[in-house]
A = this chain, B = another copy of it.
Amino acid sequence: MPKLAYLGPEGTFTEEALRILAPQAERLPRANVSAALDAARRGEADGAVVPLENSLEGAITTTLDEFAWGGPLLITAELLLPVEFSLLARPGTRIGRIKRVFTHPAAITQCRTFIARELPDAVVVAAPSTAAAAQEVALPGSPYDAAIAARIAGEHYGLVELATGIGDRSDTVTRFVRVSRPGPLPEPTGSDRTTLVAFLTDDHPGALLEMLTEFSVRGVNLTRIESRPTGDGIGRYFFHFDFEGHVADARVGEAISGLHRICADVRFLGSYPRADGLSPQVKRGTANGDFTEATGWLSRIRTGQV
């Protein structure tokens, strides 16, 4: 039974993701993303589950920067988890009596309509996380009457669910990844994604175009690009890339080798099955068989067998 660290405390959406990704795992909540990843790096845990991006809020920059600068880790799985907010309160609380609500600022933003309609007079206070809000509300003398959090947080902290699905949008999704210390990669499945970080040798005009061309010329489709500051002043960035395919695929291997040749550094962050199960459209001439055939052809012509 593997032990997995995660972004805690108990009752976070990340815990929910972990339970789906690894139902049998022992769960180790950690105070923040860095602490969860460090637990995996140091061997306290066999791996970790952390959020990577959210369809409304965007990238979780702490996760991106940990992957880029912290000790090496590999992504081995991903999960797309719908974000469903619930209004949670101590047993016996009536919705009409709620005066103070505690939750994370993102939840305030995303539940604006519900709050305006159902809790027009309530004071809404920002909490460090939705799970921490629920934890606080559960305390006997809490100044807060309700929390907005994942349903799972109610179960953990003995709160009851007064309303559920209270977000303005029903299609908000967070993408979580499971990571491990470096080791054998997940096998290719035909529906894989690869993640890496690329650092430019210098910041010349056209550098990004060159990087994208390394992918496009081998028919590798990007699914995400994020720029992040290197820390060395405004205007200096490095890039996170997600793209279709597995590093074991010939086209992916050649594309990222090309990237490696033109970049100051490329940090590989894993190849793993796509959560959406989509298969890539493989461009003419870029299937594994095409590469194998071309390699044979090249060997023949190099030895004069034309």
Contacts and interface: CB of A to CB of B under 8 A. Distances in A.
A305 interface: yes
A43 to B, nearest CB: 16
A163 interface: no
Interface string A291-303: 1011101100111
Given A185-B302, A253-B298, A234 B55 contact: yes
A234 B175 contact: yes
Contacts of A305: 182
A167 to B, nearest CB: 12
A301 B247 contact: yes
A139 interface: no
A228 B58 contact: yes
B61 A229 contact: no
A72 interface: yes
Contacts of A128: 126
**Copy count, this protein chain:** 4
A173 B297 CA distance: 35
Interface string A232-263: 11111100000000011000011011101110
Given A258-B217, A294-B261, A298-B257, A304 B222 contact: no
- 5 shortest A-B CB distances, which residue pairs? A261-B285, A205-B221, A257-B294, A262-B285, A268-B301
Interface of A: 53-58, 61, 72, 74, 80, 126, 128, 169, 171-173, 175, 182-185, 201, 205-206, 208-209, 212-214, 216-218, 221-229, 231-237, 247-248, 253-254, 256-258, 260-262, 266-268, 276, 281, 284-286, 290-291, 293-295, 297-298, 301-306
